[in-house]
Amino acid sequence: MELSQSQRVDMMVGIAFALVAIGAGTAYYYYISNKKPKGCLDPENFKEFKLVKRTELSHNVALFRFALPTPSSVLGLPIGQHMSCRGKDSQGEQVIKPYTPTTLDSDVGYFELVIKMYPQGRMSHHFREMREGDYLAVKGPKGKFKYQPGQVRAFGMLAGGTGITPMFQEELDNLASNFPNRFKVYYVLNQPPEVWNGGVGFISKEMIEAHCPAPAADVKILRCGPPPMNKAMAANLEALEYTPQMQFQF
| Cα–Cα distance measured from residue 122 to residue 128, given in angstroms and rounded to the nearest whole number | 10
Higher pLDDT pick, 154 / 151: 154
Residues of each domain in the chain carrying CATH 2.40.30.10: 36-142
Q: Is the pLDDT of residue 14 over 50?
A: no
| Cα–Cα distance measured from residue 206 to residue 188, given in angstroms and rounded to the nearest whole number | 13
Fold (topology level) of 5-31+146-249: Rossmann fold (3.40.50)
Q: Is the pLDDT of residue 30 over 60?
A: no
Q: What confidence category does residue 104 fall into, taking pLDDT thresholds of 50, 70 and 90?
A: confident
Q: What confidence category does residue 12 fall into, taking pLDDT thresholds of 50, 70 and 90?
A: very low
Say whether domain 36-142 belongs to CATH 2.40.30.10: yes
- Arithmetic mean of pLDDT over the chain: 84
- Is there a cis peptide before residue 244, judged by omega within 30 degrees of 0? no
Query: 192-201: long-range contacts at Cβ-Cβ below 8 A with a sequence spacing of 24 or more?
Result: 192/14, 193/7, 193/10, 193/11, 195/1, 197/1, 199/17, 201/16
Provide CB contacts within 8 A for 48, sequence distance 6+: 135, 136, 137, 138
Residues of each domain in the chain carrying CATH 3.40.50.80: 5-31+146-249
What pLDDT is attached to residue 20?
66
Nearest Cα residue to 105 out of 134, 147, 52, 133: 147
Q: What is this structure's pTM?
A: 0.70
Q: What confidence category does residue 218 fall into, taking pLDDT thresholds of 50, 70 and 90?
A: very high
169-175 mean pLDDT: 80
| Cα–Cα distance measured from residue 60 to residue 151, given in angstroms and rounded to the nearest whole number | 39
